[in-house]
């Protein structure tokens, strides 16, 4: 039996991954690692509530997975500007997930990062994403896929992000002058690309920016 585990299943990309996997036979079981109880009426889906700060709980949640999708992320508004709290979500959760994949023998780790990720950047967000990528690469999971989308297009069911509502229309209008890798991309396309990459199961480290995401998603430009 093949098991796909999703971290961040209630988010914009994670929710689309869940929907795709529920209607795909590539994985027999879908495991959701969550902070709070979640009701999903599907026998294929198992919801596991864990404390992501508890390494043993986290490890038990990932053990037995064939592929782990990590799409978790927070905002400065959610953590009220607390950079340490921000780091606990955007750094600790994905980095520990990659390490636990390696420890438990999970073959694939698929991560949502950000366009421009660079651990040497002076920008807090871009630097943090770069640091995450650096550590994820060190975990040496057999098949590691890092996705670097720019602005995500789509409607969030669980939260409201003002910046996205303001800039999404602008990104669409200005798409013709924006450098390719910085173009806005549909969250559904990122989800499709991640699922496609998991199904391909190619060993090695793979970095996917706009062009690669669109290609994997099978979207016609």
Does residue 81 or residue 2 have the better pLDDT? Answer: 2
Greater pLDDT, 176 or 52: 52
Percent of the chain with pLDDT over 70: 89
Reply yes or no on whether the pLDDT at 160 is more than 50.
no
Q: Is the pLDDT of residue 220 over 80?
A: no
Q: Tell me what the mean pLDDT of segment 41-56 comes to.
A: 97
* In the chain, % of residues over pLDDT 90: 78
- Average pLDDT for 97-110: 98
Q: With a cut of 60, say whether residue 221 has pLDDT above it.
A: no
Confidence band, pLDDT 50/70/90 cuts, at residue 162:
very low
Q: Return the domain boundaries, the chain.
A: 3-217
pLDDT of 159 higher than 60: no
What is the rounded distance in angstroms from the CA atom of residue 35 to the CA atom of residue 204? Answer: 31
Average model confidence (pLDDT) across the chain: 90
Q: What is the pTM of this model?
A: 0.91
Confidence category of residue 179, pLDDT binned at 50, 70, 90: confident
- Between CA 205 and CA 136, with CA 183 as vertex, the angle to 5 degrees is 25
Residue 187 reports pLDDT greater than 80: yes
- Tokens 């200005």 locate to 174
Q: What is the rounded average pLDDT of the residues 112-136?
A: 97
Residue 212: is it exposed, middle or buried by C-beta count within 10 angstroms (0-12/13-18/19+)? middle
- Compute the distance between CA of residue 156 and CA of residue 144 in angstroms, rounded to an integer: 27
Whether residue 54 has pLDDT greater than 50: yes
Mean pLDDT of 128-142: 98
The pLDDT of residue 1 is above 80: no
Higher pLDDT: 180 or 106? It is 106
The dotted CATH code for 3-217 is 3.40.50.720
Q: Region 88-99: what's the mean pLDDT?
A: 97
Q: Quick one: pLDDT band at residue 178, thresholds 50, 70, 90? A: confident
């Amino acid at each position: 039996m093949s098991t796909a585990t999703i971290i961040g299943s209630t988010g914009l990309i994670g929710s689309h991954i869940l929907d795709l996997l529920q209607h795909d036979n590539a994985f027999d079981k879908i495991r959701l690692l969550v902070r709070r109880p979640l009701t999903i009426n599907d026998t294929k889906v198992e919801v596991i509530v864990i404390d992501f700060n508890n390494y043993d709980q986290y490890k038990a949640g990932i053990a037995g997975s064939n592929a782990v999708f990590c799409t978790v992320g927070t905002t400065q508004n959610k953590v009220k500007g607390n950079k340490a709290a921000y780091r606990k979500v955007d750094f600790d959760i994905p980095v520990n997930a990659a390490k636990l994949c390696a420890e438990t023998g999970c073959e694939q780790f698929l991560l949502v990062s950000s366009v421009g990720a660079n651990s040497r950047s002076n920008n807090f967000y871009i630097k943090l994403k770069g640091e995450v990528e650096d550590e994820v690469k060190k975990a040496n999971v057999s098949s590691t896929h890092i996705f670097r989308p720019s602005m995500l297009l789509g409607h969030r069911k669980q939260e409201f992000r003002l910046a996205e509502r303001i800039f999404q229309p602008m990104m669409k209008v200005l798409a013709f002058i924006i450098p390719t890798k910085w173009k806005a991309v549909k969250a559904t396309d990122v989800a499709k690309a991640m699922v496609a990459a998991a199904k391909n199961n190619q060993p090695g480290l793979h970095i996917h920016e706009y062009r690669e995401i669109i290609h994997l998603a099978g979207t016609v430009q």
